[in-house]
Amino acid sequence: MKGQFRLLLCFAAALSLVTTPACFSGRAMAAEDEHCTTAPENGKILGTSRRIEVGTQGGPAIGFKSYPQSLPLNDHEVVLTFDDGPWPGTTPAILSALAAQCVKATFFLIGRNANAAPALVRREIEEGHTIAHHSFSHPGVTMRGLDEAKAHSDIDKGFAAVDMAAYGKAEKEPRVKFFRYPGFADTPSLNAWLGERNIAIFGTDLWASDWLKMTPDEEEKLLLTRLEKQGRGIILLHDTKQATAAMLPKFLEDLHERGYRIVHVIPGSGSAETVPAPPGWTSETEAILKQRQYLPKPPTEKKPKAAKGSSASHRPARKAVLRLSLRDQDILRRSALF
């Protein structure tokens, strides 16, 4: 009976153009497990309350931290997203915590990490999560520090690597057309390029700042405080962080106790339904990126040649450079944001 149900599910998915993880695996989705069918209804665990199909036509840009629109979430609804994986040291614990609470999330994968750990990518799919994209190499200079051709190449290489790890083959376009920029460092031309390919750009509505050194308790307290203030939203976490993996079980329990509900985003057809930002909105990520001077590289200047017969060397005047503290340099090197 379960096999027949799965065939019907896959057929329905094909008609609706919705990516259904059960169609790509011989194992049933975690949602078919009796535990995840009955426990949420009995109020024992958090569960996943509903799914949102996000249409990618035109390449919508979503998430109030970066863009003036986001997903139409109700009060106390959250979308969990994880960046930078898969990572063998931490991703399995993240997946186990989600499975224990029957929660579905979206993983924005780095291509080279997917290459290195394809079994984890397939596990994410088998357990019903959405697999999305986060470039191939997560360049430290962000996409703004690369020329256009290199940025295109890194993004496309990431699409192919994730799809090869997930499905065993890669087409011209990614199967799931969800992308998040490393460091949220987009550019108008890259956004237009992705938009022409109908690839949705995901920002976020709030984050745990888990790129900073914190204990699991400190991270959870910070995240809950931000969530209580905002009341809903897309949450950014990193499944590469030990503190995040350690705090996640309690965070999910506390979400349940405080009446929050999980929304799972999946790719859909047509245009995305969004809600506008409140009056007075500004891009928080853009302000941070400008402060960090994450701007496209200027053209390289050639040094002028010394005049013939002159023994004195010509030294151009020194330009002012951005100097960061050792702490900031460490954060920049290790951070998934900056």
Q: pLDDT tens across 276-292, in order?
A: 999 999 999 999 999 88
Question: What is the rounded CA–CA span in Å between residue 177 and residue 167?
Answer: 15
Question: What is the rounded CA–CA span in Å between residue 192 and residue 174?
Answer: 17
- Tokens 């979430």: give the residue: 73
pLDDT at 28 over 50: no
Burial 297-328 (b: 16+ CB within 10 A, else e): eeeeeeeeeeeeeeeeeeeeeeeeeeeeeeee
The CB-side HSE value for 222 (13 A sphere, CA atoms) comes to 20
Read off the pLDDT of each residue in 4-17 and give the average, rounded to a whole number.
40
- In terms of Cβ atoms closer than 10 Å to its own Cβ (0-12, 13-18, 19+), residue 159 is buried
Question: What is the rounded CA–CA span in Å between residue 272 and residue 290?
Answer: 29
Residue 3 vs residue 288, higher pLDDT? 288
Residue ranges per domain, the chain? 2-16+25-287
pTM: 0.80
- Could you give the 3-state DSSP secondary structure of residue 28? coil
Look at domain 2-16+25-287 and name its CATH class: alpha beta
**How do residues 175-216 score in pLDDT, each as one tens digit?**
999 999 999 999 999 999 999 999 999 999 999 999 999 999
Nearest Cα to 236, choosing from 67, 324, 108?
A: 108
pLDDT at 12 over 50: no
User: What pLDDT does 226 receive?
Assistant: 98
